[in-house]
A = this chain, B = another copy of it.
Amino acid sequence: MKIKNIEGGVAAPEGYYAAGVRAGIKYKDKYDLAIIMSKVKAKAAAVYTRNLVKAHPLLLNMQHLTDGEAQAIVVNSGNANACMGEPGEKAALEMAVQTAKELGLKTEDILVASTGVIGQPMPMEKIIPGIAKAAASVQELLQTEPDRETKAGTAHEAALAIMTTDLVPKEKAYELECAEGTVKLGIIAKGSGMIHPNMGTMLCFITTDGAFDSEVLGKLLKEAVDKSFNMVTVDGDTSTNDMVLLLANGRSGIRPQGEELRQFREMLDHACVAMAKAIARDGEGATKLIEVQVNGAGTVKDAGQIVKSVCSSSLVKTAIYGQDANWGRILCAAGYSGAVFDPEGTSIYLNGLQVAQDGRAIPFSEDEALELLKNQEIVIRIDLKDGQENAVGWGCDLTHKYVDINADYRT
């Protein structure tokens, strides 16, 4: 395998700089505003929420990405800038204008992202100084060309700044050995609540120093998102603000082709799946990561529907929380998924232990099941006998803490 893990997050690839600051948007001492910048203009691709209601930054980015290029991303947590009408549109634009000004770039080369509560005015009196501070930090990095460690440190602050109810920052970086050098990829994400197939309040920013055409880049990103973020669910809600942005600045001097392009795609898929799993594991209040594998489905669509239905079932999620091998709820969730399959040919395994065969109960050791369900990672495998298609997705358990967190989020 020519792909390896490296340090440095989104600033790991050549020619990227990132910084996070504490702007005091919602909490006093939390990193809450970040800028990610490429030294040169980059090809850019985006995937947005499928929610009919789209936050103001998303609508702005759609305009700014008509040329398929961008140079910097500005992002804040603590306020979603959604459902605010004209003042919301202005706030998103002002963030771009201010970031462009501070960094000496064009407004239309800035992408904007926000996450937090919906329907409240953006505190621009905090956002604008925050942008100035983050931009100054990025500018200093640009001018001093610091060592890898310093760059990694400020990139990590960017990963911190996009967190909301996340408990841990989510960042990774990878390197692919190509014939003429290495291509790097950095990624940060935030998730937690409201994550769903079709993306929950989920932000992900990806940087690479590989060189790609806009069209290839868009295709690569869409495919990776379908296999990763669109297969993760925390609570079944899909937010107004979700997006994944990918910048490719070509600074490695390498344009992957053929087998190398295939390997780059593998690296991108792997990075997105790693973030998707990290998001599920860090779901609001979650104590367990649930992976649902469906094998032997008649079609990919059927396999995917079953994965999503089982991952989303409140009854399955609470059973896993309670370490209860309640496979009936799993079969039941498959049954109402809308997928076509034969329940009487269905077998179910929990962390390798078979608990149902041909759609019915088989004897198994409850003690062994309980022991297996104490794991923090639960793999639910559902074997159909309808065909050759598979799907895999991720979710988390539904806990007391989830209710705690969401019963008083806004106030």
Q: Would A83 and B313 be within 8 Å (CB), given that A336-B237, A409-B324 are in contact?
A: no
Q: Are B236 and A322 in contact (CB under 8 A)?
A: no
Q: Mark A220-232, 1 if CB is under 8 A from B, else 0.
A: 0000000000000
Q: How far is the CA of A321 from the CA of B182 in the complex (A)?
A: 52
Q: Would A331 and B83 be within 8 Å (CB), given that A194-B315, A237-B314 are in contact?
A: yes
Question: Which chain A residues (45-67) contact chain B, with CB distance < 8 Å?
Answer: 49-53
Find the residue from A52, A193, A322 having the highest chain B CB count within 10 A. A52
- Which of A19-27, A118-126, A166-174, A254-262 faces chain B? A118-126
Q: How far is the CA of A382 from the CA of B219 in the complex (A)?
A: 38
| Chain B residue, CB-CB nearest to A405 | B318
Instruction: Determine whether A90 belongs to the interface, using a CB cutoff of 8 Å to chain B.
Output: no
Q: How far is the CA of A404 from the CA of B398 in the complex (A)?
A: 10
Q: Are B237 and A328 in contact (CB under 8 A)?
A: no
Q: CB < 8 Å: which of B49, B194, B198, B322 contacts A408?
A: B322
Q: Are B51 and A321 in contact (CB under 8 A)?
A: no
Instruction: Determine whether A406 belongs to the interface, using a CB cutoff of 8 Å to chain B.
Output: yes
| Chain B residue, CB-CB nearest to A318 | B406
Instruction: Determine whether A293 belongs to the interface, using a CB cutoff of 8 Å to chain B.
Output: no
Q: Are A237 and B332 in contact (CB under 8 A)?
A: yes
Instruction: Determine whether A80 belongs to the interface, using a CB cutoff of 8 Å to chain B.
Output: yes
- Which of A28-36, A150-158, A265-273, A355-363 faces chain B? A355-363
Q: Would A356 and B322 be within 8 Å (CB), given that A313-B237, A336-B198, A361-B119 are in contact?
A: no
Q: Are A119 and B360 in contact (CB under 8 A)?
A: yes
Which A residues fall within an 8 A CB radius of B?
A: 49-53, 80, 82-85, 88, 117-121, 193-194, 196, 198, 235-240, 312-315, 318-319, 321-322, 324-329, 331-336, 339-341, 343-344, 356, 358-361, 366, 398-400, 402-404, 406-411
Other A-B pairs beyond A83-B361, A235-B315, A238-B335, 19, CB < 8 Å: A51-B332, A52-B335, A53-B334, A83-B331, A83-B356, A118-B326, A118-B331, A120-B361, A194-B315, A198-B336, A237-B332, A238-B336, A240-B328, A240-B332, A314-B314, A315-B406, A322-B408, A324-B411, A325-B410
